Chains A and B, each alone.
Chain A
Amino acid sequence: MYLLKLAMRPWKVAPISQTVTIFAVGFLLFLSGFLLSLQQGLRPLIARLHNEQVITAYIDSASSPKEEERIVDTLKTQLGAKAQISVFTSNNFIDEIRNEYPELSRELEDLGGEVTTIVPRYVSVSGFLPDTALASVKSVSGIESAESSINRYSHIVGAFKTLHWLVGLLSLGLCFSLLAGLIQLSKINSFVQADALSILRLWGAGHLTLKMPRLLTSLTSGGLGGLVAGVAWLLAAPWLNFRVKALSPMFADIQLPQLQLAIALFLIGVVLGLLAGAFSGRVTRNA
């Protein structure tokens, strides 16, 4: 009990500065949490933009309809169930342009069997495909050539990857400065307890007893800061979700976590507080 009283001494001596510090800790934790959740949200987006592709594989004009079926079966086997595969024949092409270009479609139909030499048949493969998918498609016999849309978003993927590590770096920096700040605060608070600790030391207090008030004070600062951040996050997360989605349609799938992150922020505050208390070193008079 007396250790708790000692731990609360800084609050008695300087309640306003302690309160301001708690809110500063809470705000910085809130910011770190926001940046971290943004970073987590960017990860699947980058993966999707990087791996989602459409491969157009042109079938050899000499291939028979039976060959077509074999090609499709081979592609399904090679690329798995995630790949969506559809075959476009000359007739499909003519059907698609019929409404907009009726004259042209009629002329093509009039060509009969020769149409396959003018309008190519192709297989469209889409979905989350590995980087090697294009090479696999090209290796299938009966495929004349193939092209992929894999590099379509390369500039956006590059920008998002930069944003991803920048946001990670910023949140790490914030956590580091938070820890440094809490260590300094713990040291300052230790001076308020120094006289009592030097007495306890002379009475034969052990290492843990002497450390306890400092740990409890730091734990309080970190824990309350975490609580402020957690509550602020619960209140602000829906609005932040809306704002992030409004930045770009690409962010539509980003979903900032609410309760989990609020709890995580509180726990991070507790851990940072404990670490600050443990690393702040002993301050006792006449030590």
Chain B
Amino acid sequence: MFLLGEAVAMVRLTGISKWYNSQQKILDHVTLELKKGEFLYVVGGSGAGKSTLLRLLATEEAPSEGSVSLFGYDVSRVSQTTLTAIRRSIGYIPQNIRLISDLTVYDNIAISISLAGKRALSKDMRNRIFLALEKLGLSQRQNALAASLSGGEAQRVAFARALIREPELIIADEPTGAQDRDYTWSLMDLFTKSNLTGATVVIATHDREIVRRVRKRCATLKLGRVSVEEPLCIY
């Protein structure tokens, strides 16, 4: 748990750029700031740089230029221990879902909890995992290997895995991309509830309907730059 002062931003991106092998810039001098408890959509067309931006936020990659500051720490300058603590406070749902394929659905979630420093085998935690799986329509699949899940199921497991840790910062890349409409709204409902309980949420999406129905602040990316930033999105 990070204690943030009023003036300290939960997320601060300062002039970040990203390129691979000296090729064209995928992100170009992006500057963004999020306070604790904010909800932000990162929207934009395909190839606009949304996923790259979220990977930088999740500390999966480092920017080629500029700085990423999370919980008040510049992640390029912190010790490995602090970086690990930062990662434990983040719930990240990547676009390519990435579950541990040879573990069961239950184990994938339980590991996430134990890595966050909580006791995954406690009765309370087990109940929470079962409730989360039930809510996401996965209670029958808890003992299935992650490799055997469909795209939509895997995405919901990734969702449960990220949110069950009660992270302070939720980063989700196209979290509803493989879901039917019913599950899409269930997931959005859970994001909103987490946000109401104090979590900061960043969602990358190109789904206009979600953005219009659950109206929040948004940043539109175009060719790696933030082209528009609105307090209430009309994407």
Q: A2-B103, A202-B58 are in contact. Are A195 and B98 (CB under 8 A)?
A: yes
Contact with B along A1-25 (1 / 0, CB 8 A): 0100110010010000000000000
Contact: A206 with B98, CB < 8 Å?
no
Contact: A206 with B84, CB < 8 Å?
yes
Contact: B103 with A201, CB < 8 Å?
no
Per the 8 Å Cβ criterion, residues 93-144 of B in contact with A are 98-103, 107, 111-112, 115-116
B85 within 8 A of A: yes
Chain B residues closer than 8 Å to A111, beta-carbon distance:
none
Distance to closest chain A CB from B172 (angstroms): 13
B150 within 8 A of A: no
Chain A residues closer than 8 Å to B99, beta-carbon distance:
199
Per the 8 Å Cβ criterion, residues 242-287 of A in contact with B are 286
Q: How far is the CA of A2 from the CA of B105 in the complex (A)?
A: 12
Contact: A202 with B111, CB < 8 Å?
no
A204 within 8 A of B: yes
Interface residues on B, range: 20 to 34
Contact: B116 with A203, CB < 8 Å?
yes
Partner of B115, one of A196, A198, A207, A209: A209
Q: How far is the CA of A9 from the CA of B147 in the complex (A)?
A: 14
Chain A residues closer than 8 Å to B98, beta-carbon distance:
195, 198-199
Chain B residues closer than 8 Å to A6, beta-carbon distance:
100
Contact: A202 with B116, CB < 8 Å?
no
Contact: A202 with B59, CB < 8 Å?
yes
Contact: B112 with A203, CB < 8 Å?
yes
Q: How far is the CA of A9 from the CA of B80 in the complex (A)?
A: 27
B61 within 8 A of A: yes
Interface residues on A, range: 10 to 19
Contact: A2 with B111, CB < 8 Å?
yes
Partner of A199, one of B59, B81, B100, B102: B100
A156 within 8 A of B: no
A200 within 8 A of B: yes
Chain B residues closer than 8 Å to A9, beta-carbon distance:
102
B215 within 8 A of A: no
Contact: A202 with B87, CB < 8 Å?
yes
Q: Is the interface of A mostly helix, strand, loop or mixed?
A: helix
Chain B residues closer than 8 Å to A206, beta-carbon distance:
81, 84
Distance to closest chain A CB from B137 (angstroms): 23
A205 within 8 A of B: yes
Contact with B along A108-132 (1 / 0, CB 8 A): 0000000000000000000000000
B92 within 8 A of A: yes
Per the 8 Å Cβ criterion, residues 85-104 of A in contact with B are none
Q: How far is the CA of A201 from the CA of B86 in the complex (A)?
A: 11
Residue among A12, A196, A203 with max Cβ neighbours from chain B (10 Å): A203
Contact: A203 with B61, CB < 8 Å?
no
Per the 8 Å Cβ criterion, residues 184-204 of A in contact with B are 195-196, 198-204
Chain A residues closer than 8 Å to B58, beta-carbon distance:
202
Contact: A204 with B100, CB < 8 Å?
no
B60 within 8 A of A: yes
B225 within 8 A of A: no
Chain A residues closer than 8 Å to B103, beta-carbon distance:
2, 5
Q: How far is the CA of A198 from the CA of B101 in the complex (A)?
A: 13
Q: How far is the CA of A207 from the CA of B81 in the complex (A)?
A: 9
Chain A residues closer than 8 Å to B85, beta-carbon distance:
204
Distance to closest chain B CB from A139 (angstroms): 71
B50 within 8 A of A: no
Contacts beyond the supplied A9-B102, A199-B100: 9 A-B pairs with Cβ under 8 Å: A198-B98, A199-B98, A200-B115, A202-B59, A202-B92, A203-B88, A204-B88, A204-B90, A207-B84
Q: Can you list 15 contacts pairing A with B, beta carbon distance less than 8 Å?
A: A2-B107, A2-B111, A5-B103, A6-B100, A195-B98, A196-B100, A199-B100, A202-B59, A202-B92, A203-B87, A203-B112, A204-B86, A204-B90, A206-B84, A207-B80
* A interface residue numbers (CB < 8 A to B): 2, 5-6, 9, 12, 195-196, 198-207, 209, 286
In the complex, the 10 A-B pairs of residues with the closest C-beta atoms, listed nearest first? A204-B88, A204-B87, A203-B115, A196-B100, A204-B115, A204-B84, A199-B98, A203-B112, A205-B115, A2-B111
